[in-house]
Amino acid sequence: MENNHTQRLWKDLDKPVLLIYLFLVIAGWFNIYSVVYDPETTEGFQLAARYGKQLLFIGFAFLLALFVLVADLRVFTQFAYLYYGIAILLLLAVLVIGTKISGARSWIKLGPISLQPSEFAKVATCLAFAKYVSHPALNMKKVKNQIAAALWFLVPMMLILLQPDAGSALVFLSFVLVLYREGMTGKVLWAGLIAIILFIAALLVNNYIILAAIALVIGFLIFRNKKTFKNIALGVLFFALCSGYVVGVDYAFHKLSPHQQQRINVVLGLDPDIKGAGYNVNQSKIAIGSGGFAGKGYLQGTQTKFNFVPEQSTDFIFCTIGEEWGWVGCTVFLAAYLWLIVRLVKMAERQRQPYYRVYGYGVACIFFLHLFVNVGMTIGLLPVIGIPLPFFSYGGSSLWSFTLLLFVFLKMDARQ
């Protein structure tokens, strides 16, 4: 009976996702080993070094995955709101009793282990959000319901911003994409895109030129469409909104703390300060760039070896891939990741239970946002925002939460 159950589970499990998970985790470990590796040291394998600890984290992650697969799925789905409540309490607690590490109060120290509640909040929010959104009586076409659903991820996001940990908070915006899938109009995504473009423009270009450009575009649109009173009024309103936003961005930018301003300036190319804020990005670009087509070979990276790139084993781990494995390695890496994400979306679509579908989308979008922000930062397309690269960055909390996220969904999928 037991055996039979296990066999069925194995048969229903999505093997491609499992394989890619194993591939990413193991490749991630070898990368961390390479970062820590000192060519001159004669000491053998050390459990206390980062690669040793990461091995322990991975071992525990596998146990966790096994537990998820074996346990009753209801352990997770039934108590989703409870977990969410606990996560919120932990996020509140960390603001008070948390340990400050590099400026943010985001860790709770329990003896030798440090835990990052925001990582577990990700899992809990995904479960609870999916449960709420998939409620049969809820019409997600209604804006009111969409706003109510958004509160589920906006609340933990705000709490994390208070730590302040902008990177972890940003991840929660991935649920906007899920909302879009579940009924929100695509106009919100367009508005977001316009907001980002205007944001960059507001900092790069003279504000009056932007306002003039907006006015031109709106004038053109009104000219092309029917010149009804309603259209003109809408145009004027839109113009007022845009100009308010542009002026607001300019104002808010100057209210930011100097180091945040600098990080944004570095990305926009306004501040080439390669000794200060631009240092990480410049070194990171050199490391990746010097990898060339095929890379320097495993353990052969000089830029990353000589500790030029800071946060090498955590946020900037992608540099090592770029330097040692080159463009070929990066292509394999990107392909594997995108394949995983797209496969998760496809799997989500095939779920019969709405709950499972929404959850699956949540997992896919969270992975996507991590990839988007982390890699974008190391290749100098996005500002420096501390956020781990799933399965690659050193650290237990993030590895466990990603494992948990993924395997709960695998279990859901297997239950079909």
- Give the residues lining the site for another protein (CB under 8 A): 38, 177, 180-181, 186, 259, 272, 274-275, 279, 282, 285-293, 302-303, 306-307, 322, 326-327, 330-331, 334, 337-338, 341-342, 345, 349, 361, 365, 368, 371-372, 375-376, 379, 381
CA–CA distance, 116 with 122 (Å, rounded to integer): 11
Helix (H, G, I), strand (E, B) or coil at 99: strand
> Measured from the CB atom, is 93 or 338 closer to another protein?
338
CB 115 within 8 A of CB 107: yes
CB 141 within 8 A of CB 183: yes
> Measured from the CB atom, is 58 or 178 closer to another protein?
178
Residue 105's DSSP bridge partners are 100
Min dist CB 177 to another protein, Å, is 6
> Measured from the CB atom, is 228 or 302 closer to another protein?
302
Min dist CB 412 to another protein, Å, is 17
Min dist CB 134 to another protein, Å, is 14
Min dist CB 218 to another protein, Å, is 26
Min dist CB 193 to another protein, Å, is 10
Min dist CB 301 to another protein, Å, is 10
> Measured from the CB atom, is 207 or 353 closer to another protein?
353
CB contact burial 231-257 (16+ within 10 A = b; e otherwise)? eeeebeeebeebbebbeebeeeeeeee
Residue type, 85: G
> Measured from the CB atom, is 79 or 327 closer to another protein?
327
R_g of the chain computed on alpha carbons: 23
Min dist CB 83 to another protein, Å, is 26
CA–CA distance, 15 with 20 (Å, rounded to integer): 9
CA–CA distance, 162 with 94 (Å, rounded to integer): 10
> Measured from the CB atom, is 326 or 388 closer to another protein?
326
Min dist CB 158 to another protein, Å, is 25
Tokens of 223: 């000219």
CA–CA distance, 70 with 136 (Å, rounded to integer): 28
> Measured from the CB atom, is 360 or 396 closer to another protein?
360
Helix (H, G, I), strand (E, B) or coil at 110: strand
CA–CA distance, 264 with 266 (Å, rounded to integer): 5
Q: In what order do the strands lie in the sheet with 113-115?
A: 99-101, 104-110, 113-115
CA–CA distance, 414 with 416 (Å, rounded to integer): 5
> Measured from the CB atom, is 216 or 273 closer to another protein?
273
| Residue 56 Rama label (left phi>0; alpha psi -120 to 50; beta) | alpha
